[in-house]
Each structure stands twice: as structure tokens, then as C-alpha cells.
Amino acid sequence: MTNPLDHVFAALADPTRRAILAMLLEDDMAVTDVAEPFSTSLAAISKHLGVLADAGLITRERRGRVIWCRLEPDSLRAASVWMQGFGQFDPVDLDAFERFLEQELDATSE
């Protein structure tokens, strides 16, 4: 009834969550470390991580006291295929991608 794409796109619609994904692109992170650069509460970030996990965009694994978050890029495949089908865009332009990430991270820290 609810399409997986619903959850993926809804998860991506929030700038905080996109910033979190960008951070996880670098490396796996503990929840506390994910929350550190944001001015919102840890509980709010925990909720965001829940939304990302429900969409399949990340997985969380407890190791001792710490819960590690890992990006699951394959979960974006369906959504990416959907969008490419509309635009028939050029192949991956990583320079443009870098620019977007910087722009978004700047906006986050404002």
C-alpha cells in the first residue's frame, strides 16, 4: 500500500537528514557523534536516524554502549532509477555533487 519510494523521498526531503547522510558517506559514526554538529537535541537526531533507518537508507548496530550508523547507498538505487528515467540525465557528475554537499553543509551550520 505504501510504496518504498514514499519513505525514501520523504526521508530525503529534510536538510538535516541529507546532511547526516553526507556525514555518513565519509565513515560510520556513533549516534552522539552524528548529533554533535547540529544545534538540535540528541533525541531529535535519534528520531531522524529512525526515519533514515525506516527508509532503509542507514542501518544501526549496537556495539557495547555505542550504536554505530552505517550508510546503505543501495537503498537509493530505486529512487535514482526513477529520477533518471524522467530526466535521462548525464552520467554521474561528481563535481556537481561535491558542490551540493558543501552548499548543504554550509546551510546547516548557519
Partner DNA sequence: GACATATTCAACCAGATGGTTGACGATAGC
Partner DNA sequence: GCTATCGTCAACCATCTGGTTGAATATGTC
Give the residues lining the site for DNA (CB under 7 A).
10, 13-14, 16, 30-33, 39-44, 46-51, 60, 62, 64-68
Query: Least separation, in Å, of the C-beta of 66 and a second copy?
Result: 24
Q: Which is nearer to a second copy, 32 or 70 (CB)?
A: 70
Q: What span, in angstroms and rounded, lies between the C-alpha atoms of 50 and 57?
A: 10
Is 14 near a second copy (CB under 8 A)?
yes
Query: Least separation, in Å, of the C-beta of 2 and DNA?
Result: 10
3-state secondary structure of 18: helix
Torsion of the alpha carbons at 52, 23, 68 and 92, rounded to the nearest 10: 70
For cell 543501495, what's the residue? 74
Q: Which is nearer to a second copy, 40 or 80 (CB)?
A: 80
27's grid cell: 565513515
Q: Which is nearer to DNA, 46 or 72 (CB)?
A: 46
3-state secondary structure of 107: helix
| Kind of pairing between the strands at 58-63 and 29-30 | unpaired
Binding-site ranges for a second copy (CB under 8 A): 1-3, 5-6, 9-10, 12-15, 18, 21, 25, 71, 73-74, 76-89, 91-94, 96-98, 100-101, 103-104, 107
